Chains A and B, each alone.
Chain A
Amino acid sequence: MSIFITRETRVLVQGITGKEGSFWTGHMIDMGTNVAAGVTPGKEGQSVFGRPVYHTVRRAVAEHEAGSPPCSLFHRVLPGCGFEALDSGIKKIVTIADGIPLHEMVQIRAAAKVEGALVVGGNTSGCISPGEAMLGMFPYWIDRVYRKGTIGIMTRSGSLTNEVTAMVVQAGFGVSTLMGIGGDPVPGTRFAEMLPFYEADPETEAVVIIGELGGTMEEEVAEAVEAGIFTKPLAAFLGGRTAPKGKRMGHAGAIVSGGRGTVEGKVKALESVGAAVADRPSKVGLFLRNLLDRGLTY
């Protein structure tokens, strides 16, 4: 099983006719993802890999009424296309698009809470359950990275995700579901909010978080573990430890986070709830072997 999507989940691709949109739709289908339809204003009547294209999400959903498909936004076909998906009743939305204005993203996250929907991203590669399905853009054919297994991975990065996941695979594991929550300052869904799905997934044995400096998402994960929301083994990679103190966002940032957001603070918070926090990608695999009692044999 995988979290977020399975082979049965019907997928709608917004921006399906664009260069990246059609390229990755092809890969999603090749991998086994159930792409039902696509949307590009002005292109209704066309098809991409045999999937019908509609002008708007509303029209696509009306034609494909049974069940509500999640949707993956590739290009920013229209301003506010996150709202288009939400307003059409879609409950799982992966926002591949980058460059979404900050205030719009805050509005989308607020609207998703009201609708009881999950909006993942923006500025993410999406999510993938190797051997099952993918919503987004991952080089799943690189077997030394995207191997099926039992480790859930959550990340904000692209290239670093490939790096860390390769180390998890090198240590003898594979991936249950990899969820990219996106690199923008306000992700639609936060690390801690994905934990209940990994907790409920019988195929996920442990979770790895690829975190970063700033914000409070790693601290929220520690709080979720403390509260018993997540009880499986947890490992994390946190980079940026030797980075010189960057230009600060001003006092408000520090005040909002109440002194949280430093690597030291994040390591301390995660370790205090039993998570193994690595300072090098290669240690992630090692820590997983420890956490899951597989011994240090590699």
Chain B
Amino acid sequence: MNLNATLFLQLAVFLILGGFTMKFVWPPIVKALDERAKKIADGLAAAEKAKSDLALADKRAIEELRSAREKAGEIRANAERQAGEKVDEARTEAARIIAQAREAAQAEAGLAAQQARDALRDQVALLAVAGAEKILRREINPQVHADLLANLKQELQ
């Protein structure tokens, strides 16, 4: 337990080592620590932001999906309505054409029947005259009996 000049040298070494650390050791380490702390803080903030962005995007996607579904439904309804209209149109058109065809056919048939009836009537008159000839065993003068025949014809109509 003695004191000697080692004390002063140790004192000098003490201050010199402290000065060295102050100049070359402390600043870079503290700088690195501060920078890393900032980086971590930035990273955490970015993660937070990404999370909220994701939630937002999710919400938007759901909205988009719903609106797309609505639009699709609308389009389908429209298409169905249009198709129905088309079918109805076609049906009315078809009914019209059928009715027209039926009318035409009826008219034709009526005409044909009229003609047939007319022809038949002529022949019936002839047959009646012939029958009457045979019945009366004598010839009837068509000119004389024209009125009679005409009457008969009228009755047959």
Do A and B truly interact?
no
Q: Which residues of A contact B (CB under 8 A)?
A: none
